Amino acid sequence: MSRRADAPAQARLQSLLRKIRIEAGLRQSDLADRIGQPQSFVSKYESGERRLDLIELHAICRATGVPLEAFVRRFEGGPD
């Protein structure tokens, strides 16, 4: 799948990642500390400059208190 073809899904993912961080009451720097990354890491994936792998997504979900399964359901448009 090309980056252009998956642009809507990428935008939805970026929005959801930002939303779960904010819902957890965390600044980018707070989340970065929890996952052992620099603040720029969080900024880059929230802006779409960087993509995440599954291990990184799992760490973000754990740090924000959102089960990975619930994150996927939210991404797919289902109930939490």
Helix axes 7-23, 68-75, angle to 10 degrees: 130
Q: Are 67 and 73 in contact (CB under 8 A)?
A: no
Q: pLDDT by residue (tens digit) across 8-61?
A: 999 999 999 999 999 999 999 999 999 999 999 999 999 999 999 999 999 999
Residue 2 lies in a domain: no
* CATH assignment at residue 26: 1.10.260.40
Helix/strand/coil percent split, the chain, to 5: 65, 0, 35
**Total tally of structural domains belonging to the chain:** 1
Task: Determine the 3-state secondary structure of 38 from DSSP.
Answer: coil
Residue 1 lies in a domain: no
Q: How far apart are CA 17 and CA 21, in angstroms?
A: 6
The single residue listed with the structure tokens 């073809």 is 5
Residue 80 lies in a domain: no
Domain that holds residue 13: 7-75
